[in-house]
């Protein structure tokens, strides 16, 4: 059975895999289905997305995995897929922040500054087109089957923590309210105007 590599959200804050994937019950739900799950912590306060890829590569097994990423972890996941395509069997991006949104970027820039990130690091982390850290030209030719769950437009929030666990590895509207009607194979993420992901929040 396919191994899942879960890449959590957060950006220079105290978010980790325990809060993002374990505490909401996501990992436990996957384990109940007999799924092998890897949920490493991302590099703490990485200066760029390349450093995140190097850190994540060290946590990967010696066989291809299905990568599921949430929030700012999506940028790390896409960069990982571009650099190590032979290691990624499939890719699912969930609730990715949109690059180039002035309001979102301004809030994120303030938050990163308060956390002590230097200006050049902030610029590097926020630069992108549809997705932070990636150009649209880089996204377009990806050979890996992929799908994208958009952010909920109902709930702009300052939290980066998922609030609704989905206990199936392949969510649909019937078993996970945040899921779209069907996956979007080999697709480019669609820009969203909401700020941060909270699937199923009121």
pTM for the predicted model, two decimal places: 0.75
CA angle 100, 152, 131 (to 5 degrees): 25
Q: Can you tell me the mean pLDDT for 44-67? A: 95
Check residue 44 and give its pLDDT. Answer: 94
Check residue 107 and give its pLDDT. Answer: 94
Which pLDDT band, with edges at 50, 70 and 90, does 94 fall under?
very high
Cα separation, 2 vs 77, whole angstroms: 17
Quick check: 198 and 160 in contact, CB under 8 A?
no
Ordered domains of the chain (ranges, CATH): 3-149 (3.40.50.1820)
Which pLDDT band, with edges at 50, 70 and 90, does 100 fall under?
confident
Check residue 10 and give its pLDDT. Answer: 96
Q: Is the dihedral of CA 23, 166, 89, 85 positive or negative?
A: negative
Question: Which residue from 98, 168, 104 is spatially nearest to 132, judged by alpha carbons?
Answer: 98
Check residue 151 and give its pLDDT. Answer: 66
Mean predicted lDDT score pLDDT of the chain: 79
Question: Range with the lowest mean pLDDT among 94-98, 107-111, 131-135, 157-161?
Answer: 157-161
Q: Can you tell me the mean pLDDT for 81-87? A: 92
Question: Range with the lowest mean pLDDT among 18-22, 25-29, 46-50, 136-140?
Answer: 136-140
Check residue 200 and give its pLDDT. Answer: 38
177 vs 115, which has greater pLDDT?
Answer: 115
Contact partners, residue 155, CB within 8 Å, separation at least 6: 194, 198, 201, 202
Check residue 99 and give its pLDDT. Answer: 83
């Amino acid at each position: 059975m396919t191994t899942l590599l879960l890449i959590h959200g957060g950006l220079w804050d105290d978010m980790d895999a325990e809060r993002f994937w374990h505490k909401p019950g996501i990992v436990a739900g996957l384990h109940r289905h007999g799924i092998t799950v890897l949920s490493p912590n991302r590099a703490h306060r990485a200066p760029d997305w390349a450093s995140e890829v190097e850190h994540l590569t060290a946590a990967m097994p010696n066989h291809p995995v299905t990568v599921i990423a949430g929030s700012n972890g999506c940028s790390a996941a896409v960069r990982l897929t571009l650099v190590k395509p032979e290691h990624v069997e499939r890719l699912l991006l969930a609730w990715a922040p949109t690059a180039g949104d002035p309001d979102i970027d301004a809030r994120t820039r303030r938050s990163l500054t308060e956390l002590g990130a230097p200006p050049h690091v902030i610029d590097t982390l926020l630069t992108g087109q549809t997705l932070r850290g990636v150009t649209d030209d880089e996204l377009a030719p990806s050979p890996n089957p992929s799908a994208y769950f958009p952010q909920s437009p109902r709930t702009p929030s300052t939290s980066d923590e998922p609030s609704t666990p989905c206990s199936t590895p392949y969510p649909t509207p019937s078993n996970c309210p945040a899921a779209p009607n069907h996956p979007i194979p080999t697709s480019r993420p669609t820009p969203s105007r909401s700020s941060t992901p909270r699937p199923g929040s009121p």
